[in-house]
Structure 1
C-alpha cells in the first residue's frame, strides 16, 4: 500500500527526533511522552495573533479559557458551559472525570441583551503566581482590537460599545468593577449565544504584556516564552522541528495535564507521518487517507482510525480584487482575472470535484456548496446544490466574459492571457493531489495554471498579507456562525477575508442574523446568505472532509467530536502496556 512499505522512509523514521537540545525521545513500554505529528509549525504561541492549526492546538493547552463549549449533534448548535454547571453535572452523574477548565464560575445576560456579566473564580493564577483577574481580559481585548497588532479576531469585538462608530470605547464597553467581575456592554441587543461566542477570547497576562508597544507585539520575545495558566507549559520549541509541552504543576483549571509531556513534531511529508504512526514513533496523525486504512491493518500496526466531521473544507481562493492596486493606495477594483463572479462560477464549473473525492477521500468527503456545514443542521440550506462539473458551460461563461482562445490555446482578453500560479502549503498530500487535477481541468478549457508549494508558515503569512492571487487551502469553521471575519466588506477588520470579496448584502444578512435573539430565528437570513455566496463564488468551495484521525492504541480516554481532535487531550492517558519504537 502506498505510504506504508517504504523502506527508506522507515529507516529515516527510526532515527528521527533522537538527538538535539531539548529533544524528547521515545522509549519502550510506559513512555511518558505523547507525540503528535503536525504538517506545519506554529506561527505564534499567542492567542491574539496565532492563526495556524498548530498554533491553536498548542496555545489552547497553554492558556486558560473563560468557558468550555459543547456541540449539540442533534441541532448543530454550539453551547457554552461555565464551571458551576459542570460541577453540578459532575455531582449529579457521579462522574470521576475532571470538571470544566473554565475561569468563569457563571454568567448572566441582561434582560435587554445589551450586556453580559461573568463572575470569575478567585483561585486561578498565572504560572508565575499572579492572580488571573477581570483586568487581564479587558487589557487583552484592547490588544485584539488594536489595528497595529492586526489580530485576525477583530470581528469578535464588532458589537461592543463604540464599534458602530469605528472605535470601541473600552471605558464603557468592558467594565471591571472588581477582580472577579467582568462586564461586556454592547451598543445593541445581542443574542446570548453570540455574546458568549464573542466574549470568550483567550486572555493574556496584563502584568507581563503591558509594557510591550503594539508595533513590537508580533516580534516580542514573550511570544517564544509564553506565560500561561493551562494544563501544560512550554518546555522546548525548535522551529520547524518540534514543540514540547510539559504538564503544568501550577494548573488548577482544573488540574495539570494527565500525560507528563506532549510533543508536537513537525513532519511536513504525509508518507513520513504515516510511516511514523505505523512504527509507533508518533502517536497521533490526522487526516489518514482512506486508501491507507487496509495497509495499516495488514501491517498489524497498533493504530485505531476514528472519523470526525464535517467541520473542515478545502477550497480554491481567488483574489476578487486587484491586490497590487489595493496595496499601493487602498484602491478597490476588480482583479483582472478573478474579479468577475461569472468567471469565478466558470472556474468552479471547470473543476471536477467529484473526481478529486473519488480519487482521494471516497466516502469521507462531500462536495461543498458554501461555508455552512451540513453538520450545522439548523442553518444549512440543502436547496443550494453544488455546481456540477460542466466544462462546456464553463467555456460558454468565459467566452461571454470575453475570454477567447489565443494562438497557443490559452484564453486571452484585451491582450492578457488567462495564466496564473496556484499556491498551496507543503505537506498536505490531499491538496497536492487535488491541485494536479485542478491544473489539468483548467488546461482543458484553455487556462494556464501553474502550481507552487510553499512552506506552511510562509504560505499562511502571504495569505494574511493578501500577497497571492490564487491558492488552495482549508478552513475549519467556527461552530457559532459569524462569517464576517471571512466575508465582511471592511477589509481592514475582516482579517480572514483573503479574497477581498465585498458584497453589502452579505454584510446586511450577517448583521440581521446576528441580531436575532434566538439563533433559530436567524435561519432565513442564513438561507439567503448561502444562495448569494453560491452565486458569487468568492472562492471555489471544494469539499467537506470527514477527517480520519489515527491514534496509537496506547492512548486511552480520547473523545473525538466536531469541536476538535484534541477536545479532551488534557484527560488522555497512556497505557503502560503499549510500546513506542523510535
Structure 2
C-alpha cells in the first residue's frame, strides 16, 4: 500500500463519513409508482456522486454498482461459518495452480454488455490495468501488492495476464505473493468503451452518466438530487421476466420524511431505521421489519496520548484505568433499554458474525461499579477532599466526551455513560460537535475521550483501525500501541490457512481484553423496513440489494 493511496483513501473516508452522518439539504422529487408494476422504490438520504465502479466509495454507490456490474464470481455470505463463499457468475469456473501463483478463469459463453457486445477475457485484463493505473486514481489503486507491479504501482500486464482465448484467461502472481480470491473478484468494465477515453479524463467522461453495464439492471434515468432509476437488462445473464423489472433509489434528505413515505407506500424499502421508530412502524399494516446483524458497533474512545504533547495521557494511559472505565459503564442497560433485540454487548473488534474467528468464551468487563472504584483507588485516584470527584494530586478526574450532533442513539447512550461515570467519582461533560468538526478532531487526535463507531469490513481487516503505524492505522484515534498486536495484524495480511487465521484472531482478541484500548459498547443491527408486497426478499451483509435480482412484487 503506497503513501499516495493512503492519503487519497483518508480524504475519501472523511468525505464519506461526513456525507453519511450529515443531513444534507437536497431537493427531492418522486419517480411515481404505478399500481401492479414489478418495481420497488428504495429511500436514500443523499444522491450518489458516481455509479462508476472505479470511484464508487459510499454504501449507496456500492449498492447501485452491485446492480449494474458483475464480477467473475458471485459473493455469498455463509451465515453458519461466517465467511464469504463464491459461485460462478461471469466465470463458469476457475482453477488455481498447485502453489497459488496462477489462477485460470473460464468465462461463460453467452455473456454480454448492455450494448450487446460480448464480455471477454480482454475486458478482465483491461479492468485490472485500469484499476491499478495511478493516472485513473481509482478506489482500488494501491491494493494490488500481490501482483506483478511496475515502479508506479500499476499492474505489469505482460507478466500478469495470459489471454488464452476470448473466454479463457490466466492471471499470474509473484512466487512470494499471497493473493486472495477477493483481490481478483472485482467489477469488470467494458474495454471497448473505456479504451476510447484518455485515462486522466475517466472521472469526468460522459459514459459515467450513460454506462455500458453487465448486471441484472441497467441505468434508465439519473435525475440528480431526485432519483436513480434502474431497469432490468434483457441482455444480462441474470434476466428473468418474473423478478423485479425496475428499482428506483429515491433521494429523501429528511429522515422523518423517509419514514412517512415508507408508511404511506411512496417508498417500499428503507434501511438504517432508528430504534425509536419501531413501535410506529410495527403498527403499519403494510410493513415488515427485519435486520442485518453484526457489522456496526459504537465505542467510547480513550486517548492514550496527551492531546497537545507527545506524552502519555494524564487520564487514560494506564490499561487498568481503561478497564475501570469499562467496569463503570452499564452496557447491559444500554442494550436492553434502547436497542432491545436489535443489539448486543460488544466485547472487542471482531464481530460475532465471523463465527470462526470470534472468541465466544472470552469474558467482558460486565457492569461492576465497585470494582471500578477499587481499580481507580489502586491507581491513585481518590476523593481526598470529599467533593464527589476523584483526584490524583492536584489533577481532578474530569474530562469531556465528544460526539457528533444529530445522533439520537449516541445522545441517549452518552447520558447513561455520564451518569455511570459520575457514580464512581468521575466528572464528565458531554459535548456535541457538528459532524465535520468532530471528524477533523478525531483525525487530529484533539480529544481525550469521544463516542464514535465503525462498520467492520468483509472480509475482516482491522489494520486501518488498530495498527500502531499511523500510515497504516490512520483510524487508530486512541493511539493504541502494542508490538504483539501489530505483529498479529501483519501476519493476518499474509497467506495463511484458516486454522492459522482462527488462532491469530483469537489471540488478538485476548490482547484487546488485556489492554482494553477503548470501551467497546454494543453491536447494533441495521434495521430494515420493507413493504410486505415484496416477495422472495433476502438481505446480505455484503450489500443491501445484493440479491435484488431475485426479488419480486406480488
Q: Does structure 2 retain, via aligned residues, the 8 Å contact 1:289–1:360?
A: no
Q: Name which of 21, 28, 32 aligns with 1:25.
A: 32
Instruction: State the secondary structure of the residue aligned to 2:161.
Output: strand
Q: Distance in 1 between matches of 2:221 and 2:288?
A: 29
Q: Does structure 2 retain, via aligned residues, the 8 Å contact 1:66–1:200?
A: yes
Q: Counterpart of 2:40?
A: 34
Q: Verify: 1:107 aligned to 2:114, yes or no.
A: no
Q: Distance in 1 between matches of 2:518 and 2:254?
A: 27
Q: Name which of 336, 346, 363 aligns with 1:385.
A: 363
Q: Counterpart of 2:69?
A: 63
Q: Verify: 1:359 aligned to 2:328, yes or no.
A: no
Deviation for aligned residue 1:370: 1.8
Q: Please show how residues 320-339 of structure 1 align to structure 2 within 5 Å.
A: none
- Return closer, same or farther for 1:172/1:461 CA change in 2, 3 Å cut-off: farther
- Return closer, same or farther for 1:490/1:135 CA change in 2, 3 Å cut-off: farther
Q: Verify: 1:185 aligned to 2:177, yes or no.
A: no
Q: Name which of 539, 548, 551 aligns with 1:569.
A: 548
Deviation for aligned residue 1:68: 0.9
- Return closer, same or farther for 1:496/1:137 CA change in 2, 3 Å cut-off: farther
- Return closer, same or farther for 1:289/1:188 CA change in 2, 3 Å cut-off: same
- Return closer, same or farther for 1:392/1:303 CA change in 2, 3 Å cut-off: same
Deviation for aligned residue 1:171: 4.1
Q: Counterpart of 2:17?
A: none
Q: Does structure 1 retain, via aligned residues, the 8 Å contact 2:335–2:343?
A: yes
Q: Distance in 1 between matches of 2:466 and 2:130?
A: 22
Q: Counterpart of 1:473?
A: 453
- Return closer, same or farther for 1:135/1:273 CA change in 2, 3 Å cut-off: same
Q: Does structure 2 retain, via aligned residues, the 8 Å contact 1:310–1:545?
A: yes
Q: Does structure 1 retain, via aligned residues, the 8 Å contact 2:134–2:154?
A: no
Deviation digits for residues 369-399 of structure 1 (CA, Å, limit 9, x no counterpart): 1232223222211232222234565567678
Instruction: State the secondary structure of the residue aligned to 1:377.
Output: coil
Q: Verify: 1:545 aligned to 2:524, yes or no.
A: yes
Instruction: State the secondary structure of the residue aligned to 1:508.
Output: helix
Instruction: State the secondary structure of the residue aligned to 1:26.
Output: coil
Q: Verify: 1:369 aligned to 2:347, yes or no.
A: yes
- Return closer, same or farther for 1:62/1:336 CA change in 2, 3 Å cut-off: farther
Q: Does structure 2 retain, via aligned residues, the 8 Å contact 1:155–1:485?
A: no
Deviation for aligned residue 1:515: 4.6
Deviation digits for residues 208-246 of structure 1 (CA, Å, limit 9, x no counterpart): 276233xx776777666655322223445556x544122
Q: Please show how residues 412-431 of structure 1 align to structure 2 within 5 Å.
A: 419-420=399-400, 422-424=402-404, 426=406, 429-431=408-410
Q: Distance in 2 between matches of 1:142 and 1:499?
A: 37
Q: Distance in 2 between matches of 1:303 and 1:129?
A: 39
Q: Counterpart of 2:286?
A: 302
Deviation for aligned residue 1:186: 4.5
- Return closer, same or farther for 1:139/1:296 CA change in 2, 3 Å cut-off: same
- Return closer, same or farther for 1:497/1:256 CA change in 2, 3 Å cut-off: farther
- Return closer, same or farther for 1:135/1:374 CA change in 2, 3 Å cut-off: same
Q: Please show how residues 214-229 of structure 1 align to structure 2 within 5 Å.
A: 226-229=211-214
Q: Name which of 156, 161, 170 aligns with 2:156.
A: 170
Q: Name which of 199, 203, 210 aligns with 2:184.
A: 199
Instruction: State the secondary structure of the residue aligned to 2:427.
Output: coil
Q: Name which of 253, 256, 259 aligns with 2:244.
A: 259
- Return closer, same or farther for 1:415/1:311 CA change in 2, 3 Å cut-off: closer
Q: Counterpart of 1:78?
A: 84
- Return closer, same or farther for 1:357/1:211 CA change in 2, 3 Å cut-off: same
- Return closer, same or farther for 1:251/1:315 CA change in 2, 3 Å cut-off: farther
Unaligned runs of 5+ residues in structure 2 are: 1-25
- Return closer, same or farther for 1:307/1:19 CA change in 2, 3 Å cut-off: closer
Deviation for aligned residue 1:169: 5.6
Question: How does the TM-score come out when normalised to structure 1?
Answer: 0.72
Matched positions, count = 518
Deviation digits for residues 469-522 of structure 1 (CA, Å, limit 9, x no counterpart): 5452341441x3343344345554567666665544334324544556531343
Q: Name which of 230, 233, 236 aligns with 1:249.
A: 233
Q: Distance in 2 between matches of 1:477 and 1:357?
A: 23
Q: Please show how residues 439-518 of structure 1 align to structure 2 within 5 Å.
A: 440-441=419-420, 445-454=426-435, 470-478=450-458, 480-489=459-468, 491-492=470-471, 503-513=482-492, 515=494, 517-518=496-497
Range 276-285 or range 44-53, more displaced: 44-53
Q: Counterpart of 2:502?
A: 523
Q: Counterpart of 2:3?
A: none
Deviation for aligned residue 1:290: 5.9
Q: Verify: 1:45 aligned to 2:51, yes or no.
A: yes
Unaligned runs of 5+ residues in structure 1 are: 1-16, 83-101, 326-331, 576-582
Q: Counterpart of 2:7?
A: none
Deviation for aligned residue 1:354: 1.9
